Chains A and B, each alone.
Chain A
Amino acid sequence: MRKKLKMPSIGGKTIILNVVKYLLAIIIAVIPLIPVWSMLLWLAVQSFSGRVILGIIPSEVTFKNWRFLWSPIKMGLKEYPNIWPVTLNTLFLALGVTGLVVFVSTLGGYALSRMEFKGRMELMQFIIALHAFPSIILLIALFVILNNLGLYGKGYMTLVGIILIKAGLEIPMATWIIKGFFDAIPWDLEWAALVDGCTRWKAWRTVILPLVLPGIGAISIFSFLSGWSEFLLVFTYVEDEAYYTLPVLIYHMIGEFKFIDWGMLAALGLFFTIPTIIFFSTSQKLLLRIYVGGIKR
């Protein structure tokens, strides 16, 4: 005990030991981040460099790589659609998926967690089974459905169709996740709300929902990311370039140039990640809003 109290004044050796300990801890914590951050950093450097030697080494400072922000991109004879409408399309898709997934799965998760009905158990197993299908095997069947619904080749309506499909694929897992959050809320809380004068709907909205905000944060991040980066469905179902989304646009730009413009690609890549970072950092607050409820003994 006495020794511990005196420690700071012992000086030299212990201080060095402590410094080494912390340094080690920091290094170990940071190492996994290094590849990620260095890649992002490299992207950033790339996007502002004029010439890239061998596709790796940057040189010259320029904003030319970011020209897609203010002018249409032309490559040879081909002119690509302006980036802003495409970004808007992507945002539309991602937010649409997020909204639909959050709406349906919070209601569905609540029902699965709280309501007794016939076949509840079976339904839950079925939901998990649904998630086992990758969207690629549904591609053709979904195409037929979209076409029959008259959503194919209809501009924004096609994107709406894709939102429906994408949300449909995400909802099972999201429902399952959010059900876990509902399960963690004691019945007492809901009953207290009912006794206090709520209808069941009102109790859900004013008492239950605020307590599952972390869960809602989690599923909205997942579904936003999955909508934002959706490639296959858009690539398959959208013909009209005006309704491309960013992943498809980027694909075309890599795939169709004989000479890949690495600088612009880096800038595009960076541009592609910015909204996700913004979305993540805002909804992350929800994730951390966990209340410790119940009895304190």
Chain B
Amino acid sequence: MVKVILDNVSKFFGKVKAVIDLNLRIGDGEFVALLGPSGCGKTTTLLMVAGIYKPTKGKILFDDKDVTKLPPRDRNVGMVFQSYALYPHMSVYDNIAFPLRLKKVPRNEIDRKVKQVAKLLRIEELLHRKPSQLSGGQQQRVALGRALVKEPDVLLLDEPLSNLDAKLRVVMRAELKRLQKELKITTIYVTHDQVEAMSMADRIAVMNAGKLQQYAPPTELYNKPANLFVAGFIGAPPMNFIEGLIKEINGEYYFDSEYFKLKLVNEIGEIIASKTSETIMGFRPENAKIILEEKPNTIQGKVYVVEPLGKDIIVNIKIGDMIVKILTRPGAELTPGQNIWLQLDMKKIHFFEKQTGKAII
């Protein structure tokens, strides 16, 4: 097992800048998720680590060894492609045995390892089949088996669950995580699904438009998003954003939006005011309470629509002409058009610079 370091790595395809100045350190045995919307450069990054693409700039290190110029076969990585890329003309057994045959592993050793991996992934009874005779979930296991059988130093997974149905995805999520912890292989896991990343990874690298946005453990990403993009990308339903100015009146600080004024905790207000006055406030749907009578320092709004989710409900609330989403337990009857007040958890609100989108607090 190794630690992987991406040192200022960029990849350009002609004019398209797929990855820009990416810095990542992935610890030995760590499970890191690359998270971002489609087209943000996740696959490109993975292919550079695998050695398929050469970085336009920058270096890639496995432990202390510079592998930037090494071809894929000299890197000892295992990879599961988004399409699984099973060899259609080979049986499942031959697919899994393929990397070992290339390494000239003795025949009985190959047989033992293939059977062992097949057992681990519970595909023993599929070994004689052709890939076209497998379901999506089975193909995914075979692809994983082929990546694992060579005991790679680094395991690369490119959206391995995206072709599975929702139910199987949840099962495989847990299974992959357990497997990774068991085998302790340094793993880079690409996904556009924040729930997947949050539930599986030790750390998450959020990317957008080829650039790294934030690299942190899931809870930190959730509680302290570094910028507007991360704040909006992590969490479902997403964070609510409201534009406004920070004003100081008689030594007290207020967040002044078009439709309401909110008194801030003094220390927070001071910090924000020292940086900028034009801000965007953000709060998560679960960090606000709906109350039915006016109280000081609340925001008035009207119920717009209620979406029941079973255990919880999402209440869409209209403030002026903005709509915010609030996640809450079903309680009092809420009817569209009804006047309500929002009480924000003032310790859990976020402020971002309007100009740069960077988090202030």
Binding site for B on A (CB under 8 A): 186, 188-189, 191-199, 202, 207, 210-211, 291-297
Contact = CB atoms under 8 A, between A and B. Distances in A.
Contact of A188 (B83, B89, B136, B150): B83
Given A194-B52, A195-B52, A199-B73, A295 B89 contact: no
Contacts of A193: 87, 98
B139 A296 contact: yes
Contact of A194 (B73, B89, B132, B134): B73
Given A188-B81, A188-B82, A210-B89, A195 B102 contact: no
Contacts of B52: 191, 194-195
25 contacts: A188-B82, A188-B85, A189-B87, A191-B47, A191-B79, A192-B79, A192-B81, A192-B85, A192-B146, A194-B71, A195-B50, A195-B72, A195-B73, A196-B102, A197-B103, A202-B102, A207-B87, A210-B89, A292-B132, A295-B84, A295-B136, A295-B163, A296-B131, A296-B135, A297-B136
Contacts of A188: 81-83, 85
A210 B87 CA distance: 10
Contacts of B47: 191
B99 interface: yes
Interface in B137-162: 139, 146, 150
A217 B348 CA distance: 68
Contacts of A293: 86, 88, 131-132
B163 A196 contact: no
B102 A198 contact: yes
B42 to A, nearest CB: 15
Contact of A197 (B73, B81, B85, B88): B73
A140 B265 CA distance: 96
Contacts of A211: 88-89
Contact of B81 (A191, A202, A210): A191
B79 A195 contact: yes
Given A293-B131, A296-B139, A196 B83 contact: no
A291 B73 contact: no
B210 interface: no
B281 to A, nearest CB: 42
Interface in B93-138: 98-99, 102-103, 131-132, 134-136
Contacts of B82: 188
Given A197-B102, A197-B150, 19 more contacts: A186-B85, A189-B85, A189-B87, A191-B50, A191-B72, A192-B79, A192-B85, A194-B51, A194-B52, A196-B98, A196-B102, A197-B99, A197-B103, A207-B87, A293-B88, A293-B131, A294-B83, A297-B136, A297-B163
Closest 5 CB pairs of A and B: A291-B88, A293-B88, A197-B102, A188-B85, A192-B85
B77 interface: yes
Given A197-B73, A292-B132, A295-B139, A191 B88 contact: no
Contacts of B84: 295
Contacts of A197: 72-73, 99, 102-103, 150
A197 B102 CA distance: 6
Nearest to A294: B83
B132 A291 contact: yes
Contact of A191 (B85, B89, B135, B139): B85
Contacts of B81: 188, 191-192
Contacts of A207: 87
B51 to A, nearest CB: 8
Contacts of A191: 47, 50, 52, 72, 79, 81, 85
B73 A198 contact: yes
Contacts of A296: 131-132, 134-136, 139
A194 B72 contact: yes
Output the residue of B73, B84, B136 with the most chain A CB within 10 A.
B73
Nearest to B102: A197
Contacts of B301: none
Contacts of B36: none
Contacts of B73: 194-199
Nearest to A291: B88
A202 B86 CA distance: 16
Contacts of B285: none
Residue in A202, A211, A293 whose Cβ sees the most chain B Cβ within 10 Å: A293
Interface centre among A191, A197, A291 (most CB of B within 10 A): A197
B78 interface: yes
Nearest to A190: B85
Contacts of B98: 193, 196
Contacts of B131: 293, 296
Nearest to B84: A295
A198 B52 CA distance: 12
B168 to A, nearest CB: 12
A207 B72 CA distance: 16
Contacts of A194: 51-52, 71-73
